[in-house]
Structure 1
Amino acid sequence: MTPDSITPLLSPGGAEVLAAACAAFTPGSELQLVEKLRRRYDAAVVTAAVTQASLRHRAVAKFGPADAARMYFTPDGLEQATRSTVGSHRAARIAATLPGATVVDLGCGIGGDLISAARAGLRVTGVERDPATAAAARANLTGLGLPGEVLVGEAQQHDVTQYEVVFADPARRADGKRVFDHNAYSPPWSFITDLLTGTACVKVAPGIPHEAVPDGVEAEWVSDAGEVKEAALWSGKFYAGTARRATLLPSGATVTSAPEAECGPIGQYIYEPDGAVVRAGLVTAVASAVDGWLLDPRIAYVTGASLVATPLASVYEVVETLPYREKALKAWVRSEDIGTLEIKKRGVDFDPATLRKKLAPKGSASATLIVTRIGRDAVAYSCRRVAPTS
């Protein structure tokens, strides 16, 4: 997309075409909708409007229906945008430390983080190298009635000394493929570490190695509805001596320390720590919270004798211990009349989908099979998922 494909939609005439496209849009109807609207409107504006209608439909999952219906997107900008729940959490943390601060967002994309920051009362400036994406970010602030500016430019060339807070979301894709090595980020890691010598927050991939985090910087792993979304590095005035943190949304539960925990035999319950807790290396915090212990010191499963409600983990009641052999597991599936089988694993190398196909569950009951390793041995547990309590 180009700025010319977004700008026409901002005029009264373009807004009319966009409204018509959004009102008639259903997934898979793009070609037919384009043909229909071209009978009434200019072809170029119609194509841009239908593209926006499709992107807005997809954006509901990240931004909610109210905001998505008023925003503008590019395909890459939507793909890389921060989910609003995560952006709001981050903005609230910045505002709690530095109320009303000036914030520059280097590589602001379509402005998802600018929106959250502006709503938190922060004074925002976005810098984006792609003109079309910058145009979308600018339109999004305006469309949502929020103050702020968006500049077209290179992150590395922008003077950040005039701002109280620097936020950066380095690109983690190259040639259309996701980049997992932090040394391959753009801007480069050396630029990121320079930013972290001041008051900054940098969004990074959840797989960031602990040893890559500079001294005096907090690494916070964030999950939303049980799915790990990102890690964020906090420095300067945001650093208060915590090295690693896990934050779970939407509850806002957070944990920062990992007390020592013992290992022991299987208890009545298995606790599966949230992915953010695992990534942060704070699994033993779950053991402490539920008065439990680890099954194995290198495996992220906690077990305990009692059912204890915790936002830090999912809970499964252990029904029986099973031999980890295909023949024995097939017999278990048949004898228990299992038709819906959830398979979870840690520390063992197999594909759950392949195993499920081999076990061929066809009955009416449901169960969870947890397969893990204790020492050198693989073990399996028949379990029932325990519904979370409020």
Structure 2
Amino acid sequence: MITQAEYELLCSDAVRRAVAVNRGRDPLEVALDRSVPHARIVATQVKYLARATVKLPAYAAAQCILPPRAFEQASSEACAAHKMLEGDTVLDLTCGLGVDAWYLSRRFRRVVTLERDPVVAAVARENFARLGAGNIEVVTAPAEEYLRRPGLEFDWIYADPDRRSAEGRKQLRLEASSPDLCALMPLLQRASERLCIKCSPLFDVDEALRLFPASRVEAVSLGDECKEVVIYADGAGPLLTATALGRGSYSAPPDTPAPPLPARFDAGHYRWLVQPDVALQKTRLARRHLWGQADSWSENGYGFAREEPREAIGRIFAVSKIEPYDPRRLRRELSGAGVELLKRDFPIDTPTLMRRLGVRAGNEQRIAFTRIGNEYWTIRLHG
């Protein structure tokens, strides 16, 4: 994290102008440029503002202060904007860079956000001012202390707990995160009837429902990558939702019966391949979502369809040919070619498969590999 002295420099007119002037330059060049005041600090901001144009475009546009660690741990604006919370008042237990708090301020009259580090709290206040958010109160206090204050009452409580140990190791169990929301549950329930928790993308949805049986649990993906698992503990569940931002959502109760497996795999029958989005895989809803659109034998596998499944959430490819996996024949045909390899339910990792086939990464051909039952298949794709 940045120091108090560094924060004060970043707020100074000279450094703010230097950051503005040098945006777009190579950060290393900026750091070595003796004409730039406080070049190292300016170079760091130039570096993270460039990254923010994708992850935090509004923060980049407002030239917010971006401490590196806080930036890495922050929600993307796309994910923060998606969170399904609204009401009059909300308490955010874990401010950090404040991305979630800022988006919550658009849907609540009043936001109170907690940050135990006084310098990070000051950064958040400064950034909210640059973003024009006037309804966010940043309180410099740990959640454990603040929640003991009398008379607290909020429509929602939101938390994105720190999932790293004191040694920096990633923690997956909610009880091991900071603050420990499980231990704080009596205080949380006293302050609000509704709790929203952002969890690691590795967090298991079954564990979420074990801890909060009547909750709504959503896996959120962006660009074919699962970004977060969000628990809405508001009594409106149990419900599982897979959301691929920009592609669509699918929801089902966790006890919804899985569809029957297709009777057989007829390679000559299919003309389309569906690669279900990772959010569907995470929530184990892929087969239920594809039912009636495509045949699927596994939550981790592909869907196969005769007609183009336009409502499917995921990548959809036209099939050129489906044939049994034969590495020797493929090596003869593909050796040296630039190939995009896709895999689902296939036991060979991508680097090993590329070596066996004698191919390199490229876009000359696109080929998928999978297992159906006890058989392995190669699916050649158009485009």
Shorter-chain TM-score tier = 0.7 to 0.9
For residue 300 of structure 1, what is the amino acid of its counterpart? Answer: G
In structure 2, how many angstroms separate the alpha carbons of the residues matched to 1:104 and 1:189? 14
Q: Partner of 1:202 in structure 2?
A: 197
Q: Partner of 2:282 in structure 1?
A: 279
Q: Partner of 1:150 in structure 2?
A: 138
Q: Partner of 1:167 in structure 2?
A: 158
Shift of 1:289: 5.5
Residue 317 of structure 1 contacts residue 384 of structure 1 at CA under 8 Å; is this kept in 2? Answer: yes
In structure 2, how many angstroms separate the alpha carbons of the residues matched to 1:302 and 1:165? 39
Q: Deviations over 1:55-94 (max 9, x none)?
A: 212211211266454211111100011110110111xx21
| Residues 341 and 65 of structure 1: CA distance in aligned 2, closer, same or farther (over 3 Å) | farther
Q: Partner of 2:18 in structure 1?
A: 17
| Residues 200 and 18 of structure 1: CA distance in aligned 2, closer, same or farther (over 3 Å) | same
Q: What RMSD, in angstroms, separates the aligned Cα atoms of the two structures?
A: 2.7
- 1:82 matched to 2:82? The reply is no
| Residues 129 and 373 of structure 1: CA distance in aligned 2, closer, same or farther (over 3 Å) | same
Shift of 1:331: 2.3
Q: Partner of 2:377 in structure 1?
A: 379
- 1:178 matched to 2:170? The reply is yes
- SS of 1:58's partner is helix
Q: Deviations over 1:292-347 (max 9, x none)?
A: 221x245432111111212512112232233334212212325xxx8331112222
After TM superposition, the structure 1 = structure 2 runs for residues 16-95 of structure 1, keeping only pairs within 5 Å, are 16-22=17-23, 25-33=25-33, 35-37=34-36, 41=37, 43=38, 46-64=39-57, 67-90=60-83, 93-95=84-86
Q: Which of 290, 293, 296 is the aligned partner of 2:295?
A: 293
Q: Deviations over 1:266-285 (max 9, x none)?
A: 42222111111111111123
Shift of 1:243: 1.8
- SS of 2:339's partner is strand
Q: Decide which moves more: 63-72 or 196-205.
A: 63-72
- SS of 1:216's partner is coil
Unaligned runs of 5+ in 1: 386-390
After TM superposition, the structure 1 = structure 2 runs for residues 199-278 of structure 1, keeping only pairs within 5 Å, are 199-213=194-208, 214-236=212-234, 239-251=235-247, 253-257=248-252, 260-263=259-262, 264-265=264-265, 266=267, 267-278=270-281
Residue 27 of structure 2 contacts residue 44 of structure 2 at CA under 8 Å; is this kept in 1? Answer: no
Q: Partner of 1:388 in structure 2?
A: none
In structure 2, how many angstroms separate the alpha carbons of the residues matched to 1:297 and 1:9? 52
For residue 344 of structure 2, what is the amino acid of its counterpart? Answer: R
After TM superposition, the structure 1 = structure 2 runs for residues 307-346 of structure 1, keeping only pairs within 5 Å, are 307-310=308-311, 312-334=313-335, 339-346=337-344
In structure 2, how many angstroms separate the alpha carbons of the residues matched to 1:135 and 1:32? 28
Shift of 1:352: 0.7
Percentage of matched positions with identical amino acids:
24
Q: Partner of 2:125 in structure 1?
A: 138
Residue 75 of structure 2 contacts residue 100 of structure 2 at CA under 8 Å; is this kept in 1? Answer: yes
Shift of 1:228: 1.4
Shift of 1:193: 5.7
Q: Partner of 1:102 in structure 2?
A: 89
Residue 30 of structure 2 contacts residue 40 of structure 2 at CA under 8 Å; is this kept in 1? Answer: no
User: Runs of at least 4 residues of structure 1 off by over 6 A?
Assistant: 362-365
Unaligned runs of 5+ in 2: none
In structure 1, how many angstroms separate the alpha carbons of the residues matched to 2:379 and 2:123? 51
Residue 50 of structure 2 contacts residue 60 of structure 2 at CA under 8 Å; is this kept in 1? Answer: no
| Residues 122 and 229 of structure 1: CA distance in aligned 2, closer, same or farther (over 3 Å) | farther
- SS of 1:129's partner is coil
Shift of 1:189: 5.2
Shift of 1:163: 2.2
What is the aligned length?
A: 363
| Residues 69 and 54 of structure 1: CA distance in aligned 2, closer, same or farther (over 3 Å) | farther
- SS of 2:183's partner is helix
In structure 1, how many angstroms separate the alpha carbons of the residues matched to 2:108 and 2:155? 14
In structure 1, how many angstroms separate the alpha carbons of the residues matched to 2:291 and 2:184? 35
In structure 1, how many angstroms separate the alpha carbons of the residues matched to 2:225 and 2:32? 36
- SS of 2:202's partner is coil
Shift of 1:215: 0.5
